[in-house]
Structure 1
Amino acid sequence: MDRPTRTVNAARALALGAMLLLPGCSVFDSPVVQRGNRVTDELLAQITPGVQTRQDVQSLLGSPTQSSTFDDNSWYYISSNTRARPGRELAVSDQRTVVVQFDERGVVREVKTLGAEDGQPVAMVARETPSPGNERTLLQALFGNVGRIGPGAAQAGTGPGTMAPGPGQIR
């Protein structure tokens, strides 16, 4: 082969390799996914503390994402925007929590908006809760009932596989 043909073939191979690798690059952004019940500022402006009730808030904002655990006097509307990042955790942006607090009569007492900067990191505990009993191996799970089921086990009347007594076995 002459030199120009070799150069053209090398350029073609290089271009083909680049075209094969190009889809792996993040040329296009992944779509933003909205999670939770997004409460807009326009909707929040319609809530007046001391005037609206639980029913008014629910008809305006919808059901809360979460309510307070013990007294149900605080409703939480939690939302965030996420974007998938290949090979990494989800990218969370615009995380927002709207807290609506009610008095004992069910009238709005306070409305506040919290962002991601208001949150506190929570350390995960690596311990496991022990479960009672013994850990069975695969062989014990497969062959554990051998000998339990049969004519002798049916008369004993205990354990798994117990059968009802036959006509001549009632004492």
Structure 2
Amino acid sequence: MARHPRSVNAFRLATCLVLVTVLSGCTWITNTLGPAPVQRGNRVDPERLAQITPGVQTRSDVEALLGSPSARGTFDENHWYYISAQSRLSPGRTLLIEDQRVVAIAFNQQGVVSEVRELTDADGRPVTMVSRETPVPGSERSLLQALFGNLGRPGMGGTPGVGNPASLGGGAR
């Protein structure tokens, strides 16, 4: 018994609509019923940031307006960074960064603001991770050592008195 081509197409269309509805519902469920976004770091208020004028404010003025910086320059104390982001746990239990903001403030040698700028993704540099491990001497074992390494060691077979703390009276009772 052959099906009518129109009913097959209608069935396919209905199946696609159901799948689209279900998948869009998953996104809605994740966003509404999932964990709320978490604010991380020191978020700089744009109104307060606008109050900082290069050549006028000092380090203490900036700290009074914006609070302590999230980070300072590693080799140069004249650069302060205010880093903030909103993060959320995704359904796969990975951390998603939703709204990241980095404000960089540079000071001259006298401690007066010389530059204020907001860094974007274009200012970032790609970092490649190195997956090598530092070898530890003596930790490499051959296959035979792994298989037969514990043979002949005292106390391994439950021999009383030799390397067995339970037989010495020091075990749990």
Shorter-chain TM range is 0.5 to 0.7
Which protein is bigger by CA-based radius of gyration? 1
* Pairing partner for 1:47 from 31, 46, 52: 52
Aligned to 1:147: none
Aligned to 2:42: 37
Give the structure-1-normalised TM-score.
Answer: 0.61
Aligned positions of 1:19-34 closer than 5 A = 26=30, 28-34=33-39
State the shift of 1:53 in Å.
0.5
Partner of 2:62: 57
| Cα RMSD after superposing both structures | 2.5
| Aligned residue in 2 for 1:105 | 110
2:122 and 2:34 map into 1 onto residues whose CA distance is 25
**Cα distance change, pair 121–99 in 1 and its aligned pair in 2 (3 A):** same
Deviations 1:13-47 (A, max 9, x none): xxxxxxxxx9xx63624201111000011110111
Residue ranges of structure 2 left out of the alignment (5+ in a row): 1-25, 155-173
Aligned to 2:126: 121
Q: Distance in 2 between matches of 1:136 and 1:93?
A: 43
Mapped contact 1:38–1:78 kept (Cα < 8 A): yes
Deviation at 1:130, TM superposition (A): 3.1
Q: Would you identify which runs of 4 or more consecutive aligned residues in structure 1 move more than 2 Å? A: 115-118, 136-140
Quick one: distance in 2 between partners of 1:87 and 1:72?
A: 39
Residue 70 of structure 1 corresponds to 75
Ranges in structure 1 where 5+ consecutive residues have no aligned partner = 1-21, 145-171
**After the TM superposition, which residues 80-159 of structure 1 pair with which residues of structure 2 at under 5 Å, given as runs?**
80-131=85-136, 133-135=137-139
Equivalent position amino acid for 1:103 in 2: N
Deviates more, 1:120-129 or 1:101-110: 120-129
Cα deviation, 1:75-133, whole Å, max 9, x if unaligned, reads 011111111112142221111100000000000000000123432221110111234x4
C-alpha distance in 2, partners of 1:33/1:116? 21
Q: Which amino acid aligns with 1:122?
A: V
The separation in 2 between residues aligned to 1:94 and 1:60, in whole angstroms, is 22
Residue 105 of structure 1 aligns to which amino acid in structure 2? Q
| Number of positions where the alignment pairs a residue of Structure 1 with one of Structure 2 | 118
Distance (Å, rounded) in 2 between the aligned partners of 1:117 and 1:88 = 28
Shift of the 121–88 alpha-carbon distance from structure 1 to 2, 3 Å rule, reads farther
Report the AA paired with residue 92 of structure 2: G
Residue identity in the other structure for 1:126: S
TM-score (normalizing by structure 2): 0.60
